[in-house]
Amino acid sequence: MTIPGLVTRWDIHFKTYFYLMVFIWALVTLILVYFGFKYRRRTADGEGRGGAGNLFLEILWTLIPLLIVLFLGIQTWALFRDFRRVPQDAYEIRVEGYMWGWNMTYPNGQRTRNEMRIPAGRPVRVYLTSQDVLHALYIPAFRIQEEAIPGRTTYLWFQANEPGEYDIFCTEFCGSGHSLMRGKIIAMEPAAFEQWSGKQAQPAEGPTGAPPHEKGKQLVSDSGCLNCHTLTGEKGIGPSFKNLMGKKESLEDGTTILVDDAYVKESILAPKTRVVKGYPPAMPSYQFSDQEIHAITEYFETLK
């Protein structure tokens, strides 16, 4: 199983195409300029001699490009095949794109948002889908990209040879939050990864003794809420969290509501039910427990 080295092979492949194209472009341009000069019209009524055809040249300029294109085609096919052929022992993660973020689900059921933890030195297979519209998962460090399509599951695979952080981008325009749809891959030493996934599998209770608003703050920053909501009072894709609790908001239908615990809960679990005027009904549902929602409202109370 030839696994690592795909990135290097991809780069060599890209450079082969690139330099070959530059070479052919330069060659054709030089000949064009030279002939333009050499066979220019010399007198006002000058006429050129017609060409008689040349079988040798015809064969030559058919055969050479054919060989080049065949060579590139076979190389491309071989590389593509290896990019699509997932190794047997791959670690599997399910990734779901939504407006605007990524949900990761691990084999033991644990979840993260916008952060994909993986063991370094092991192939990883991603099963990819979308909750709403077309997105595309792009991981430049591994030279891979795949479409996230609602109602369909696609896949890609890669391997991080070294522990470290790698960027994730969405590369399919998916609305006003498209540019915010970033994430990180965190490749960990296998032992550290084992420990992390063991810990995460425990029921998600906050650190014992921590006040609820601390836990709420953690939830809000870990869940990607701040991609769309600010803490400063500025308008984001959604309303700011600053001074939110106790505020009167106008709705699209002209009525007003008071932002209380019940409205926050509804807006987290079923965000499209009552949307504040002037904002798109863009937020996906977040399945937090009552305890977690309580922690979040406690946190909002501190943002005055």
Q: Measured from the CB atom, is 159 or 223 closer to ligand CUA?
A: 223
Site membership for ligand CUA, residue 172 (CB under 6 A): yes
Please state the closest distance from residue 284 (CB atom) to ligand CUA, in A.
12
Binders of ligand CUA among residues 87 to 106 (CB under 6 A) are: 97, 100
Q: Which candidate, 6, 230, 216, 196, places its Cα nearest to that of 115? A: 196
Binding residues for ligand CUA restricted to 248-277, rule: CB under 6 A: none
- 173 binds ligand CUA, rule: CB under 6 A: yes
Which span (156-164, 172-180, 220-228, 282-290) binds ligand CUA, by CB under 6 A? 172-180
Among residues 179 and 273, whose Cβ is nearest to ligand CUA? Answer: 179
Q: Is 135 in the site for ligand CUA (CB under 6 A)?
A: yes
The least distance separating ligand CUA from the CB of residue 208, rounded to whole angstroms, comes to: 37
181 binds ligand CUA (CB under 6 A): yes
Distance separating alpha carbons of residues 275 and 253, to the nearest angstrom: 9
Q: Which residues contact 197 (CB under 8 A, 6 or more apart)?
A: 106, 108, 110, 117
> Near ligand CUA by CB under 6 A, which window of 58-66, 120-128, 169-177, 230-238?
169-177
How many angstroms separate the CA atoms of 55 and 84, rounded?
Answer: 43
Pairwise CA distance, residues 171 & 156, whole Å: 15
CB of 102 to ligand CUA, least distance (A): 9
Strand partners, 186: 117, 165
Neighbouring CB atoms inside 10 A of 124's CB total 22
212 or 284: CB nearest ligand CUA? 284
Q: How many residues bind ligand CUA (CB under 6 A)?
A: 9
Interacting residue with ligand CUA among 125, 178, 182, 184 (CB under 6 A)? 178
C-alpha–C-alpha distance, residues 51 and 54, integer Å: 9
Among residues 139 and 181, whose Cβ is nearest to ligand CUA? 181
- Amino acid found at 64: I
Residue 148 per-residue DSSP state: E
Smallest gap, in angstroms, from Cβ of residue 127 to ligand CUA?
Answer: 17
User: CA–CA separation, 284 vs 158, rounded Å?
Assistant: 28
Judged by CB, which is closer to ligand CUA: 228, or 244?
A: 228
CB neighbour list of residue 49: distance below 8 Å, 6 or more residues apart:
none
The residues, ordered by sequence, that sit 6+ positions from 29 with a Cβ below 8 Å of its Cβ are: none
116: left (phi over 0), alpha (psi -120 to 50) or beta: beta
Please state the closest distance from residue 73 (CB atom) to ligand CUA, in A.
31
Does 187 participate in binding ligand CUA (rule CB under 6 A)? no
Query: What residue ranges in 108-236 does DSSP mark as E strands?
Result: 111-113, 115-119, 123-130, 135-139, 144-148, 154-159, 164-170, 182-188
Least separation in angstroms between residue 105's CB and ligand CUA is 18
Considering only the stretches 173-181, 202-210, 253-261, 266-274, report the one whose residues sit in contact with ligand CUA under the rule CB under 6 A: 173-181
Of the candidate residues 116, 120, 170, 275, the single one contacting ligand CUA (CB under 6 A): 170
Positions in 215-234 near ligand CUA (CB under 6 A): none
The Cα–Cα gap between 156 and 126 comes to 5
Q: Contact positions toward ligand CUA, by CB under 6 A?
A: 97, 100, 135, 170, 172-174, 178, 181
